[in-house]
Amino acid sequence: MVGSEPADEIRERHREARERARSMGPFRAWIDGERVEASDGATAETRDPVVDEPIASVPACGPEDVDRAVEAAAAGFADEWSEVTPAERSRRLFEWTDVLADHVEELAFLECLDTGKPRADARGEIEGATDTLEYYASVCRSQSGDQIPAREDVHLFTRQEPFGVVGQITPWNFPAWAAAWKLGPALAAGNASVLKPSASSPLSTIRMAELTEGILPDGVVNVVPGAGRDVGQPLTEHPDVAKVSFTGSTAVGRGVMKAAAERVAPVTLELGGKSPFIVFPDADLETAVDAVAAGIFYSTGEICDAFSRALVHEDVLAEFTDRFVERAESYVLGDPLAEDTTMGPLTTRDQFGKVSDYVDAGRREGATLLTGGGPPDDPALADGWYFEPTVFGDVDNDMRIAREEIFGPVQTIIPFGSYEEAIEIANDTDYGLAAGIGTERTSLVHNAAADLEAGLVYVNEYGPILPEAPYGGYKDSGIGRDLGQEALDHYRQTKTVYVNLDDPSL
């Protein structure tokens, strides 16, 4: 369904919101503890996806700016951060999270305006970002090496040491939360960061970096906005960037990996997905419908672990489908600044075009469009990149809409008849980020969780995502993990020290 506000009210609210956002600026690159312009003065606009109007100008940085940021990070690391104890790093990270907690509403407002997320969702994600940084502030002090009792005449131990300068690239769909996923473990391990946010939605990330002022040493956190070819590629290829972490599409991730391989730099890649949710015949259908709907319609489907393939047992296919279509049609499309909106627009014009093309492909391939399929029939939303919750039935797993990542609110329902068939269909994909299981049987939970080729398995829910647990995928969904203690390990190098001991004689 759509909201009931007239177009002129929405446009006026967003005009005022954009003025408010600009008053928080200017939004500039954050390098060496200062707001800076791009070296050549170039700028780009971030746009409001509700009315397709510019929000603010930000620097369109380039290779010279990456050099400046890397130099600042190297100096910040060498001059102070590398000498700070884990206890002091922890204290400063906690101080930063306290400041962020005081700015939750401001950051959520920027995230909502920049991405089109409903305000409640944006608020929850800012709180998730703060929680993630708090987690790494906590585990920062627990870092330790090992003493290895190999021989009595050798004192053998390991040290965990930071890389130094790390390069981090975050996506446009979860700007603040993704930045916290990157910065938390990197800073806790003792590194300095140069982070490139998406050019489409950089505002909340820039503001988060500004809020480190007076807390973290200058140069330890640097944010350089700009296009991938102008900032992301030079950052990945930079000889003084010792480690790279990237979240984004699989196609771009391959390029990041190749560039890093040229100089033997380690990478963490969190890439695409085509995640299945298996609805077994004993599943509580209300619970399953809620889980699958949340997994494909949250954030307008612009989520890498989206449950974009609902695999449903033939015994419950008809009832599940009817319930799911009804659930899809219950979402309230409207102004994301309004608290009653449950689905906002897609974030960019390009993404709207991509989703539209996939829906057309699904029709051509013979899938049955059950609901949605395009922008809502509401003049008040005509200027934004809105797309109705869309459901396809009669889908075969070989169709493009079942194999390729759409990154929009498009669900495919695929029937199966046996446990073996369900697992086979679920694993018949190039991706392996997430999977879901709907069942009331413990044996099915444990067996399916073991058999599914995915880095994350959700049971009867979509989420939660907690900072304590590693997050990442199999196959084309990436390498390494964000979150958890495992992410901390990705930002440290192990040094083994042999101390040879003489006989104890006087």
Please identify every residue annotated as catalytic: 270, 304
Q: Is 90 helix (H, G, I), strand (E, B) or coil?
A: helix
Domain boundaries, the chain: 8-271+480-492, 276-466
State in words which class domain 276-466 has.
Answer: alpha beta
Question: What pLDDT was estimated at residue 2?
Answer: 67
Question: What pLDDT was estimated at residue 193?
Answer: 98
- Segments of the chain scoring below 50 in pLDDT: none
Write the DSSP assignment of 451-493 as a string of letters. Answer: HS--SEEEESSS----TTS-B--EETTEES-BSHHHHHHHTEE
Q: What stretches of 381-446 adopt beta strand conformation (E)?
A: 390-393, 410-416, 431-432, 434-438
Question: What pLDDT was estimated at residue 418?
Answer: 98
Structural contact between residues 285 and 317, judged by C-beta atoms closer than 8 angstroms: no
- 164-188 per-position pLDDT tens digit: 999 999 999 999 999 999 999 999 9
Pairing of strands 267-270, 478-479: antiparallel
Range 181-191 burial, b when 16+ CB lie within 10 A, else e: bbbbbbbbbbb
Question: What pLDDT was estimated at residue 238?
Answer: 97
Q: How far apart are the first and last CA of the chain?
A: 87
Question: What pLDDT was estimated at residue 503?
Answer: 86
Q: Which residues contact 107 (CB under 8 A, 6 or more apart)?
A: 100, 126, 176, 204, 207, 208
Going by CATH, does the domain composed of 8-271+480-492 fall within 3.40.605.10?
A: yes
What six digits make up the tokens of 443?
A: 């044996």
CA pair distance 385, 131, nearest whole angstrom = 31
What six digits make up the tokens of 81?
A: 């951060």
